[in-house]
Structures are given as C-alpha cells and as structure tokens.
Amino acid sequence: MIETITMNLTADIKDRMVHVYLPKRYGQTEGRYPVLYLHDGQHVFGNDVEQSLRLDEHLDEGEAAFIVVAIENDPARRKEEYCPFRTGTLSEKMTGDEAFGGGGIAYIDGLVSHLKAEIDRRYRTIPKENVMAGISLGGLISLYAMCAYPDIFSRGAAFSPAFFRNFEEMESLLAASRLTGDESFFMDCGDTEVSADSTLSNAFLRSNETMYGHIKKRVPRAEFEIVRGGTHDYEAFRSRVPAALLRLMAERGVGE
C-alpha cells in the first residue's frame, strides 16, 4: 500500500509530495519497521512509468519488512537542494558549469526535524533504524546526511553518485565527521555513465573510486561495485537499484 502526504520541510521547501510505502503485513500485525528514505520520489514507484524504479513491484514480491518514504523533488530546485555545498573545482573542470547548490544542508535538516518526525508519529517505525539512499545527486546528499546525522542514518547507498559536484567539500566533511563506526554504505558506478563522452565517463568513475577510498577509511562496512556497461539512465538504474535496496535493508534483519 502506498499513501501520499504533503509536507513542508522548511519555510522555503513547502508542499512537497511524499509517497509512503507500507509493507503488505503492516495492517495485520502490531510490528514496528525500519524506514528507507529515498530522494527523487516521483521516480520511485509506478510500474507504468518509464522514468521509474518501479520499486513497489519488487517490494511486494519480496514481502519487504520495511517502510519506504519517497520524497519528490522540485525539478527547478533539485540541483540546489541535493548539493549541500556550492559546486567546486572538480565540478567546473569536468563540466564547465557555473556554480550552483548549497541548499542541501537546509533540505536534510528539514527532512530530519519535520518529515522524519511526522513519519515516526504517523507510522509504526523503529525511530533509530533509518536508511537513506539516492541516485546521482541523490547519492551525494545521502552520504552528506549520514555524515551530518550519523546517529539517525546508520546505513546508506548511492547509485551512480555525482560526488564530483561537491567533491572537495565532501572530502573534508568525511575527514571531520563524527561517524560512529557502526555505519555501512553501498555505492556503485557505471563505467559508461556518459555514453556519448568517454572522457567524462572516465572522470565520473575516477571521482567515485577516489571518494570510495575516503569512505572506506571511515565506514567499516563499505562496498563499491563498478557496473560494466552501466549508463546514467532509469533503464540502467531499474535493472540494479531495487535488488540492491532489498539487500541493504536485509543486512541486519531488522523489522517486525
């Protein structure tokens, strides 16, 4: 079952659509459930939508014992909200784009203080069992959330993460973060993310390999997978992200 609610995360992030997946057995027992928070929420569910992970189909088939909270983005603000810092040197070098971003700190603060609080109030959650995951910039902001709130988000995942956008700042944040030592993090990256530009694809992969080197120094249970032929589109994401999320959530066997 999927319920949809509308939330204000901050004074500036208003009327955000949030889709909440409840396990099949949610209404049949009094059990409490861990929560998986996902970004780009309009692309998470919906089996008839091309630009979608169609995650609900996999959750039902696997009889998932966790709640999923999928937060829709505002397309006009996505890059601003999913980058905790202004884009830096590597971003400009790789793409030539003018600087953007810096709204991600407020976005995550609002997600924790308002959305998470409301989810815990409305549903039978395990308040300390929270996972955050995302694709591309959604992966970047997920790692930031783990560093900023390690006592809340102990596990995370980033699929084809666009770490290069805030590369320098994330290096510094990881080095200074107060991670508890009990976290786990999964990430992957295709070797042909930008199929039309092999130079950019190689730089994208190298940035993720380097960031993984920093992550595994701070996160004991870190894993990185290079996806051969993996491209940066929903057909590719759909083929691997749902299964990876189910594995991630089964890691500790938490749930009812």
| Alpha-carbon separation of residue 132 from 48, 90, 197 (angstroms) | 25, 25, 30
Going by C-beta distance under 8 Å and a sequence separation of 6 or more, which residues neighbour residue 158?
A: 133, 134, 135, 138, 139, 140, 142, 143, 185, 186, 187, 188
pLDDT on residue 256 = 44
pLDDT on residue 181 = 79
pLDDT on residue 254 = 45
pLDDT on residue 47 = 63
Closest by CA position to 242, among listed 32, 15, 1, 62: 62
pLDDT on residue 144 = 98
pLDDT digits (tens), the chain, 256 positions? 999 999 999 999 999 999 999 998 898 888 999 999 999 999 999 866 778 999 999 998 877 899 999 999 999 999 999 999 999 999 999 999 999 999 999 999 999 999 999 999 999 999 999 999 999 999 999 999 999 999 999 999 999 999 999 999 999 999 999 888 788 999 999 999 998 999 999 999 999 999 999 999 999 899 999 999 999 999 999 999 999 999 999 875 444 4
pLDDT on residue 180 = 80
Measured at the CA of 220, the angle between CA 246 and CA 37, to 5 degrees, comes to 35
Long-range contact set of residues 120-126: C-beta below 8 Å, sequence gap at least 24: 122/5, 123/20, 123/22, 123/33, 123/67, 124/26, 124/30, 124/31, 124/32, 124/33, 125/32, 125/33, 125/34, 125/35, 125/67, 126/32, 126/33, 126/34, 126/35, 126/254
Helix 167-176 and helix 137-148, axial crossing angle in degrees, nearest 10: 20
Residue spans of the domains in the chain: they are 2-250
pTM recorded for the entire structure: 0.95
Could you say which architecture CATH assigns to the domain 2-250? 3-Layer(aba) Sandwich (3.40)
Closest by CA position to 152, among listed 103, 104, 123, 115: 115
Pairing of strands 16-21, 67-71: antiparallel
Angstrom distance (rounded) from CA 22 to CA 2 = 6
Going by C-beta distance under 8 Å and a sequence separation of 6 or more, which residues neighbour residue 137?
A: 39, 78, 79, 82, 83, 161, 162, 165
pLDDT on residue 63 = 79
pLDDT on residue 49 = 72
pLDDT on residue 48 = 62
Pairing of strands 153-159, 184-190: parallel
